[in-house]
Amino acid sequence: MPSIHRLSDPLINQIAAGEVVERPASVLKEVLENAVDAGAQAIEVALEAGGIKRIRVSDDGCGIDKADLALALERHATSKIASLDDLESVGTMGFRGEALAAISSVARTSLTSRADGASHAWRVDGPGQTPVPAALNRGTVVDVQELYYNTPARRKFLKTDNTEFAHCDDAFRRVALARPDIAMQLSHNGRVSQRLAAGDMTRRTGALLGDDFLAHARAIEADTGPVRLTGFASLPAYSRASRDAQYFFVNGRFVRDKLVTHAIREAYRDILHGSRHPAYVLFLDIDPHTVDVNVHPAKIEVRFRDSRAVHQFIYHALERSLGQSGAGVADHAGT
Ligand code: ADP
Ligand code: MG
């Protein structure tokens, strides 16, 4: 056996990238979440070739200081937590400080940013690079090009541009649904595919899932104090053949959770045929101390401290609302 040696930083980052950067959509998710964490009010996404060739995200958030710019691409470098206490009550989407390090180890990544109060912007063209002066009015532009240019084995797993774009579109929708207060735009190969003005949850949901969904959905509103469930869930008339319109957020984070899916399925059991699927956009708000989001690098899985209570709460909230007679949300609103 060869002797034990430490792996180089680039190699460590590339290995970690396997967990964080599965495809263009996972890059987009991370970069979008950074823009949200930066307090952006407007975010613009420009994709080329399904995001494989290019993912460019511009935001008008707080920006990054020149001194921090190179550090932002380093592994385990974050401005978001400093202690274990912070981790247990984390209020930002990010906190692991590894997304940009992972992304920049497998794609040509540049970061241009102008921190609030700075006289001009700075740009870094990759890990270990020195910042150079740049032109930008405010906020940050993250430009990720040629994903997996240096890891051909991974590139082979990418699907067609259209398929990768569909995944990117979904990543965009997840953030857009969770943050209707942020104006968001998505373009692909120079063509704008989504242009969303800042607004409220009903408007944003209608823009992304269609007014037809709202017309056949029940508004959900359940609150026990420590736990709250809000959003929209489709009436049986709007059921779908696939699970393509199912969005569940825990404290603003899109998650996919067996327990949650089961609770929802149970609530529909008597009104929906087994081969049909409900459409929903639901937000669970819960004390962050009672849910662990640090289960997986992509944070798409969560662990509830009292999973039974959460299951019961979701099930009853939905069953109660769906059981009431009457029409959908848009009809109530008179639209
Ligand atoms: P994390 O989000 O877990 O902290 P990242 O690797 O995604 O880790 O980002 C590293 C750091 O870079 C962030 O903590 C933040 O300080 C900074 N950063 C990244 N993107 C932006 C952005 N769009 N605006 C402002 N700061 C950013
Ligand atoms: Mg991040």
pLDDT for 333 equals 47
Backbone CA torsion sign across 233, 166, 175, 181: negative
Q: What is the mean pLDDT of the chain?
A: 93
- Ligand nearest to the CA of residue 111, numbered in listed order: 1
Can you read off the two tokens belonging to residue 265?
Answer: 């399925």
Phi/psi of residue 176, nearest 5 degrees: -65, -40
Q: Average pLDDT for residues 90-118, to the nearest whole number?
A: 93
219 by DSSP, 3-state: which? strand
ipTM of the complex: 0.99
83 Cα to the center of ligand 2, angstroms = 17
322 Cα to the center of ligand 2, angstroms = 37
Ligand 1 atom closest to the Cα of residue 78 is: 14
**Does ligand 1 come within 6 angstroms of the Cβ of 111?**
no
Q: What are all long-range contacts of 155-164, with beta carbons under 8 Å and residues at least 24 apart?
A: 157/23, 158/23, 158/24, 158/50, 158/52, 159/23, 160/50, 161/49, 161/50, 161/52, 162/50, 163/50, 164/23, 164/24, 164/25, 164/49, 164/50, 164/51, 164/52
User: How large a percentage of the chain has pLDDT more than 70?
Assistant: 97
pLDDT for 139 equals 98
228 Cα to the center of ligand 2, angstroms = 26
| Whether pLDDT at 239 is above 90 | no
pLDDT band at 334 (very low <50, low <70, confident <90, very high): very low
At 295-316, the pLDDT tens digits run 877 778 899 999 999 999 999 9
**Does ligand 1 come within 6 angstroms of the Cβ of 32?**
no
Ligand 1 atom closest to the Cα of residue 57 is: 23
* Alpha-carbon span 312 to 270, nearest angstrom: 17
| Whether pLDDT at 194 is above 90 | yes
CB 249 within 8 A of CB 284: yes
14 Cα to the center of ligand 1, angstroms = 18
Question: How far is Cα of residue 334 from the mean position of the Cα atoms in its chain?
Answer: 32
**Does ligand 1 come within 6 angstroms of the Cβ of 257?**
no
Task: Write down the residue that tokens 């045929």 correspond to.
Answer: 273
**Does ligand 1 come within 6 angstroms of the Cβ of 62?**
yes
| Whether pLDDT at 327 is above 80 | no
Return the number of other C-beta atoms located less than 10 Å from residue 23's C-beta: 21
96 Cα to the center of ligand 2, angstroms = 7
| Whether pLDDT at 332 is above 60 | no
* Alpha-carbon span 11 to 136, nearest angstrom: 32
Q: Average pLDDT for residues 54-64, to the nearest whole number?
A: 98
Q: What is the model's pTM?
A: 0.94
| Whether pLDDT at 120 is above 80 | yes
At 65-87, the pLDDT tens digits run 999 998 999 988 899 999 988 88
pLDDT for 335 equals 43
pLDDT for 325 equals 64
* Alpha-carbon span 312 to 296, nearest angstrom: 25
Q: Average pLDDT for residues 83-112, to the nearest whole number?
A: 91
| Whether pLDDT at 172 is above 80 | yes
Question: How far is Cα of residue 68 from the mean position of the Cα atoms in its chain?
Answer: 24
| Whether pLDDT at 103 is above 80 | yes
Can you read off the two tokens belonging to residue 21?
Answer: 């950067």
At 3-54, the pLDDT tens digits run 999 999 888 888 888 888 999 999 999 999 999 999 999 999 999 999 999 9
pLDDT for 299 equals 76
* Alpha-carbon span 109 to 123, nearest angstrom: 11
